[in-house]
Amino acid sequence: MKTNILVSAAFGAVAALVAGSASAGTLDNVKQKGFLQCGSNTGLAGFGQPDAQGNWTGLDVDFCRAIAAAVFNDASKVKFVPLSAKDRFTALQSGEVDVLVRNTTWTISRDTSLGLNFTGVNYYDGQGFMVRKSLKVASALELNGASVCVQQGTTTELNLADYFRANKIQLKSVTFASSDETLKAYEAGRCDAFTTDASGLYAERLRLAQPDEHLVLPEIISKEPLGPAVRHGDDQWFDIVKWVGYAQLTAEELGVDQKNVDAMLKSDNPDIKRLLGTEGKFGEALGLPNDWAYRVIKLVGNYGESFERTVGQGSPLKIKRGLNALWNKGGLQYAPPIR
Amino acid sequence: MSVQTEAASARPKVSPLYDPKVRSVAFQVLLCAALGFLVYVAVSNAHENLSRQKIATGLGFWNNLAGFPISQTLLDYSERYSTYGQAFWVGLLNTLLVAVVGIVLATLLGFTMGIARLSKNILVAGVARWYVEIVRNLPLLLQLLFWYNAVLKALPSVRDSAQLPFGIFLNNRGLFSPRPDPEPLFDFVWLALGFGVVATIAFRWWARKRQEATGAQAPVGWVTLGLIVGLPVLVFLLLGRPIAFDYPAATRFNIGGGMVLQPEFLALLFGLTIYTGAFITEVVRAGILAVSHGQTEAAYALGLRPNITTKLIIIPQAMRVIIPPLTSQYLNLTKNSSLAVFVGYPDLANVFTGTVLNQTGQAIEVVGITMMVYLTISLGTSFVMNIYNNRKALVER
């Protein structure tokens, strides 16, 4: 299987050589194919996970559906391509996927040297630790000399080393290829602590045999702005993905949701009129019909609805909005105006 | 008349189109040109696409700070100051370590089982047979995961570590033993060992010469043992044991100090050894069966005992058949060690094509380098085994 990864990486590289030149207009390609290819997680509750029937759900999955809704007026025209942390960038670079929405942290090196552009932040996250309650540890600073299980190919690996270095703590890390193996090793007692993004910690904790015996420590040791990424060099597609996200935020801010969006079409509020395309021609400028944002809200919902359904109170994870609340409600989610 | 004979004896003039020599050369040139063109297109296209998408290229990352820790390092390595290049060497050494130890153990296991497979004792032969049939027919990855989980689950947790004699601890984070710290005087022990090895070689040479000349046998085994083991031990004791030990001790979370054999390493080593050992068993069995039974009968007729017959008559002849397929098993073991990432062992594929590739994003360079490394290791192994094979091959006179 390892060799398969090597081979697929090599093929990905070859595909980058051959296919790259043909990917000038991603929007046209997507329309021609008739569906959107979306790079997603292989299975992370709340963000991207197929259920027993093969239906994908999650915050990242909703984002892909929103793009499909804007382009095709059909939120189901998405093919999800499950990618490991390691293979995800190669898949996007080589054109295997049109957009990567896979709880991916936005960093300068990824933005500049990998040939990608991050379009925004759909979830403000941070890295945390999970430990056994029986260890009687109350803070990550007490973890001197502890072993930590970590998944390979993530910013997590580097943050961990940085944090322990900054706090002069000795660290023993054990690195695994998949999140499954990492969690299993932690559960078997190979490590004292398990680390990943805080949202992931809550999701993974539910998969343990006895979730109550484990505790998520209060420290958040890094900034992990997770967001969708597209290839360099296609500004139209970059704009579309970016503004689909902003449209969902704007809708929440204006109180437009899946249920009332049809009624809102008759609203006199100029902001709502511009959002839903009854005034102005903002869709055309994106290369989409003017009701692009209406489609997104009608078929997928606004950001708040999507959040509550996938990771918030309507889901088993029950994550609070926190940093992901709108800017006028104490959070960081802020959309530039549609005008 | 004479002119005519001359013309007839000269080669008939054929169009170059139908000349087989010209044709074969022309086809080869064409093929080479086509291949060269393909490579050129691939490389230039890759370069153009990479620079157009502004993806970093080149080996500039080699000297950048790595910043990630590695759980088992044979070299000096720290996430505080080591570079990606150093991470590469650490990974490479870890790969070589598991490959070399694995090859030695798999060979021992394979030869033992291969001989057992042909034993007249039904129980012994049956055990060897079932070992081969079960192990050879299960995927290696499954076996690795089995061993890793078996190791993790079977051993006690770190807080209930099993305490063994000599200050050794065993738990599911590894086997912790005291680490010897040689003092300066210890150099003399190394010196004694070196002298012992040289003296052994000289003694063996002398003993062989004498046996060829007079037929008298010298106690080679005992002298070897005395020179290589006895002499250094004697020097060590005479110097007053110039060595200190760093004993492992329980800390708040782990066991600190000492040396550690990690469960990841043990699981990978176990899995590779047992898996490859099964194939070597069959290679050895085939090799032994390839030696004509007349050889055994002839040896018995000369009055040689069965184990001497096996050692001096059968095995040397069987080696000629065994070595070539044995070489490919060695190569398989080395290449299979790249499955390490699934049990968390930091080998080259895990550290370099895993973490380094992901941190730098330079897939083509990193995968290319890794391929070159495995190719070099494999060709090197083949080269050494071919030399050995040529020495063992039947010399026809």
Chain A, nearest residue to B265 by Cα: A174
Q: What is the mean pLDDT of residues B67-94?
A: 88
Note whether A153 contacts B173, CB cutoff 8 Å.
Answer: no
CA–CA separation, A205 vs A199, rounded Å? 10
CA distance B379 to chain A (A): 18
User: Given pLDDT bands bounded at 50, 70 and 90, which one contains residue B20?
Assistant: confident
Nearest Cα to Cα of residue B95 among B380, B369, B348, B333: B348
Note whether A157 contacts B355, CB cutoff 8 Å.
Answer: yes
CA–CA separation, A138 vs A126, rounded Å? 18
How confident is the prediction for chain B on average, in pLDDT? 87
Contact status, residue A300 vs residue A62, Cβ threshold 8 Å: yes
Provide the pLDDT for residue B397: 67
Token couple for A145: 């000399």
Provide the pLDDT for residue B34: 95
Note whether A181 contacts B172, CB cutoff 8 Å.
Answer: no
CA–CA separation, A235 vs A25, rounded Å? 9
Helix, strand, or coil (residue A229): strand
Residue B311 has, within 13 A of its CA and on its CB side, a CA count of 5
Provide the pLDDT for residue A56: 93
Nearest Cα to Cα of residue B176 among B186, B187, B191, B161: B161
Contact status, residue A68 vs residue A78, Cβ threshold 8 Å: yes
Provide the pLDDT for residue A179: 83
Contact A313/B at CB under 8 A: no
CA distances from residue B139 to A182, B84, B150 in whole angstroms, order as listed: 21, 33, 16
Set of chain A residues whose Cβ sits within 8 Å of the Cβ of B350: 152, 175, 177
Contact A21/B at CB under 8 A: yes
Provide the pLDDT for residue A269: 93
Percentage with pLDDT > 70 across chain B: 96
User: Given pLDDT bands bounded at 50, 70 and 90, which one contains residue B11?
Assistant: low
CA distance A60 to chain B (A): 21
**Closest in B69, B346, B358 to A86, CB measured:** B358
Provide the pLDDT for residue B36: 95
Contact A113/B at CB under 8 A: yes
Percentage with pLDDT > 90 across chain B: 41
Provide the pLDDT for residue B310: 85
CA–CA separation, B44 vs B54, rounded Å? 15
Which of residues 130 through 189 in chain A touch B, CB cutoff 8 A? 135, 143-147, 152-154, 157-158, 160-162, 165, 171-178, 181, 184-185, 188-189
Residue A105 makes CB contacts below 8 A (sequence gap 6+) with A125, A154, A155, A197, A224, A225, A226
**Closest in A10, A18, A89 to B45, CB measured:** A18
Note whether A162 contacts B338, CB cutoff 8 Å.
Answer: no
Note whether A152 contacts B341, CB cutoff 8 Å.
Answer: yes
Note whether B54 contacts A232, CB cutoff 8 Å.
Answer: yes
pLDDT in tens, B104-161: 999 999 999 999 998 889 999 999 999 999 999 999 999 999 999 887 878 888 878 8
Q: What is the mean pLDDT of residues B162-177?
A: 83
What is the Cα gyration radius of chain B? 29
Contact A239/B at CB under 8 A: no
CA distance B345 to chain A (A): 8
CA–CA separation, A160 vs A156, rounded Å? 6
Set of chain A residues whose Cβ sits within 8 Å of the Cβ of B71: 172-175
Residue A87 has, within 13 A of its CA and on its CB side, a CA count of 24
pLDDT in tens, B294-335: 999 999 999 999 888 888 888 889 988 899 999 999 999 999
In this prediction the pTM is 0.78
pLDDT in tens, B361-381: 788 889 999 999 999 999 999
Provide the pLDDT for residue B114: 93
Alpha helices, H only, A73-118? 88-93, 108-113
Helix, strand, or coil (residue B332): helix
| Positions in chain A whose pLDDT score sits under 70 | 1-24
CA distance B361 to chain A (A): 6
Chain B, nearest residue to A5 by Cα: B353
Contact A25/B at CB under 8 A: no
Provide the pLDDT for residue B5: 52
The top-scoring range by mean pLDDT among A13-22, B25-34, B73-82 is B25-34
User: Given pLDDT bands bounded at 50, 70 and 90, which one contains residue B248?
Assistant: confident
Provide the pLDDT for residue A15: 46
Residue B144 makes CB contacts below 8 A (sequence gap 6+) with B267, B268, B271, B339, B342, B343
Q: What is the mean pLDDT of residues B14-21?
A: 81
Residue B192 makes CB contacts below 8 A (sequence gap 6+) with B231, B232, B234, B235, B236
- Cα dihedral A71, A73, A79, A85, rounded to 10, equals 60
Residue B268 makes CB contacts below 8 A (sequence gap 6+) with B98, B144, B147, B337, B339, B340, B343, B345, B347
Provide the pLDDT for residue B163: 82
Pairing of strands B162-164, A229-231: unpaired
CA distance A97 to chain B (A): 16
Note whether B254 contacts A18, CB cutoff 8 Å.
Answer: no
Provide the pLDDT for residue A214: 92
Set of chain B residues whose Cβ sits within 8 Å of the Cβ of A177: 341-342, 350, 354
